Amino acid sequence: MVDDLQLSPAIIGLVTSSLLIGSAFGSLFAGRLADIFGRKITLMGNTLLFMIGTLCYSLSPNAECLIGFRIMLGLTIGGFSSVVSVLLAEFSTPECRARMVTRSFLLIMVGEFGAFIANAVLGILWNEESSIWRWMCILSILPAIVELALIFWLMPESPRWLVSVGKNSEAKIILHKIRFKPEEADAELAEIEKIKKLEEGKAEGGFSVFIEMLGLSWFRRSLLIGIGIGLSLAAEGGGIIMYYATLMLRDNNGGDTDAALLGNTINGVINY
């Protein structure tokens, strides 16, 4: 990409950071969209937007288009992070919730490692092609197609969302499919319906509930710990290595791009 479009270091930084800008806004608004349209529809729309954004990004003729479509892709990444986290919490029982989160992060690392391997193979086989990065981007559309098909055919809607829009009978059917025992499904449905009634009793809306919960010491502690962990993970610099590892390895190895691509796969192994 750098050689193909003749990008300066400053533009490289803008292109890289634009993804994070989009991700921040995607995380902010995706939850609201999921509440309006449902988790399943939101994820499908997000996946379609990712596929369109990736295709447009791979065809970008200049830095301005790169930045614009990176922001678009960032919106989808932030949306996935927000909605998938909600789905994991809503589908899993309290006993297995921690395992579900761990498996989710593990699969993310597997995907990143696979991307590093695919990029290394393409980069080494066609190392004379300055536009090979475009094919690397297009390749990422393939797993998105598989994901879209799996969401459409296999993933049920969230029972909690169905109850929130008055589709209790559909929620009951889904709960009986994803819980081992019928009594567990019925008990969870009763709990969800109870929570819905409590929320309906607070006419001021969700923001006032959040303000009210800030008055609880355990909630404030949990919130501050979560924010602190998120800030520390962002500030420790791991993201910089992920984004710039290939460039750093190439510049410190006499411009050997093949060695840099292979070396970057080690980054994926360590993350894994």
Question: Which amino acid appears at position 251 of this protein?
Answer: D
13-17, 116-120, 200-204: least confidently modelled range: 200-204
**What confidence category does residue 208 fall into, taking pLDDT thresholds of 50, 70 and 90?**
low
Delimit the domains of the chain by residue range: 2-158
Provide the CA 51 distance to its chain's centre, in angstroms: 14
Helix, strand, or coil (residue 127):
coil
Average pLDDT on 35-50 reads 95
Distance between CA atoms of 250 and 169, rounded to whole angstroms? 58
Average pLDDT on 195-206 reads 68
**Given this model, what pLDDT does residue 111 score?**
86
Average pLDDT on 39-62 reads 94
CATH architecture of 2-158: Up-down Bundle (1.20)
Average pLDDT on 59-83 reads 92
Distance between CA atoms of 195 and 216, rounded to whole angstroms? 18
pLDDT tens digits, one per residue of 117-150: 888 888 888 877 778 889 989 999 999 999 999 9
**Given this model, what pLDDT does residue 77 score?**
93
Distance between CA atoms of 75 and 241, rounded to whole angstroms? 22
Distance between CA atoms of 53 and 60, rounded to whole angstroms? 10
Q: Taking all residues of the chain, what is their mean pLDDT, rounded to a whole number?
A: 85
8 A C-beta contact, residue 27 and residue 81? yes
**What confidence category does residue 65 fall into, taking pLDDT thresholds of 50, 70 and 90?**
very high
Which DSSP string do the residues of 182-244 spell out, in sequence order?
HHHHHHHHHHHHHHHHHHHT-TT-HHHHHHHHTTSHHHHHHHHHHHHHHHHHHHTSHHHHHHH
Whether the pLDDT of residue 98 is over 60: the answer is: yes
What percent of the chain is predicted at pLDDT more than 90?
Answer: 36
Whether the pLDDT of residue 203 is over 60: the answer is: no
**Given this model, what pLDDT does residue 237 score?**
67
Q: Compute how many other C-beta atoms are within 10 angstroms of the C-beta atom of residue 87.
A: 22
Average pLDDT on 61-86 reads 92
